[in-house]
Amino acid sequence: MSAKADAGGDNMIEAEQFAAPFTHLALVVAALAPTLIEIDPNVQIVLVSTLCVIAGAYRSVPIARDGGGEVMTKGDAQKFPLLGSCVLVSAFLAFKFLPKSWLDYAVSAYFGALGLVSIGGVLTPVVHGILFKGKSLRSYELFGVPRVRWLNEERWTFECTAAEVAAYAFAAVGVLGYVKTKYWLTNNALGMAFALQGIEFLTIDSVQIGSILLAGLFVYDIFWVFCTPVMVSVARSFDAPIKLLFPRVSMSAIATADKPFSMLGLGDIVIPGLYVAMILRMDNARRAAAAAPRKSVTRSESKRAATASRTVNHDAGDVPTYFPAVSLGYLLGILTTIVVMNVFNAAQPALLYLVPGVLGATFLRAAFAGKGEISAVWNFCEGLEEAQAEREAERVAAEAKKSS
């Protein structure tokens, strides 16, 4: 389902390429595992969280390539921990002073609507490829918003294809199941959809911005978990798909168990996942640049002061890759979280272990990759290389035209 300026004429929509299908399949199997076999919740946490991060990273590639999604600026990254703290305290006060029934209705309505959009977005390329065999489909207008001064310069139309209708119908069934039962599987379906879409559509475009974001949330997570009861209280009180649930007992014993679930907050997937996704796109961009050597652009202290410089010279097949190392760093971080949590039998701020895991993996890999790699990775800025290449191509074309 899409909203866009009205351009008139018929619209045919081609099937989107479904990124990393086997990773998504493995994620579904890992999520459903407790209903099929007995599985330790710690093992399931590791599998589901890591597969979510990897699947989300691959989903982000075409979105960033096509200029979609929302790009996080340096200022956004700096303010993120403060905004997160305001939301967290507001939720804590709401649960403390407002009637629980009011909150239940508001939370169900909000996350139900958000879940419908998220699950529908995740399922659309699957439905398009399977039910409609990847054929181009006509996009039909549902309704339009007329041009309103100060709001929109052109008339907006809201359109959908048959594949989107089918996908959102499936999504509606899942959302209704969640709203009526709050069953752990439907909670996790919504939560994983939120995580995948968050990593897919929110973009970090440089290691520097990613480091600022992770460093700020590293402090945020430690403070709110170790220094106050706020985060743990909200996580336990907030009956919403902002966390994934992993059964600690058999399916038949869930209803009667005192503490039937282990939990993992979506932030412990999405925040490191944004960084891991950027690293995957960095690998792709650097391989492409090495295949067609040219000047690249790096970020200076201010993004507006970006200047041209030379990258480390590599052959196309010899460019160091960082995605496997950083994915492993995430895996080791989540494993460390679980080990410490079980040893001390207390809630742990997962970012305390995940942030050093992904950032440490990045710079250790760069240190072993050779001279100049740390600087090259630190100064990488997604998209600026392409912009410089376009300017170079325009300059060469202009010179060729003059000489002719």
Q: How confident is the model at residue 158 (pLDDT cuts 50, 70, 90)?
A: confident
Report the domain count for the chain. 1
Q: Is 264 strand, coil or helix?
A: strand
| DSSP3 helix / strand / coil % (the chain, rounded to 5) | 65, 10, 25
Contact 139, 13 (CB under 8 A): yes
Listed range (17-21, 226-230, 320-324) with the worst mean pLDDT: 17-21
State which residues form the domain around 389. 15-132+167-403
Task: Return the H-helix or E-strand segment holding 388.
Answer: helix 384-403
Based on the number of CB atoms within 10 Å of its own CB, is 199 exposed (0-12), middle (13-18) or buried (19 or more)?
buried
Segment of 145-149, 150-154, 214-218, 372-376 carrying the highest mean pLDDT: 214-218
Based on the number of CB atoms within 10 Å of its own CB, is 255 exposed (0-12), middle (13-18) or buried (19 or more)?
exposed
Mean pLDDT of 249-267: 87
In a domain, 140, yes or no: no
Residue-wise pLDDT tens digits, 119-150: 999 999 889 888 888 888 888 877 777 777 66
In a domain, 226, yes or no: yes
Residue-wise pLDDT tens digits, 95-117: 888 888 888 889 889 999 999 99
Q: 12 forms bridges with which residues in the sheet?
A: 138
In a domain, 329, yes or no: yes
In a domain, 56, yes or no: yes
In a domain, 7, yes or no: no
What pLDDT score was predicted for residue 15?
60
Catalytically annotated residues: 221, 268
What pLDDT score was predicted for residue 136?
84
Average pLDDT value over all residues in the chain = 85
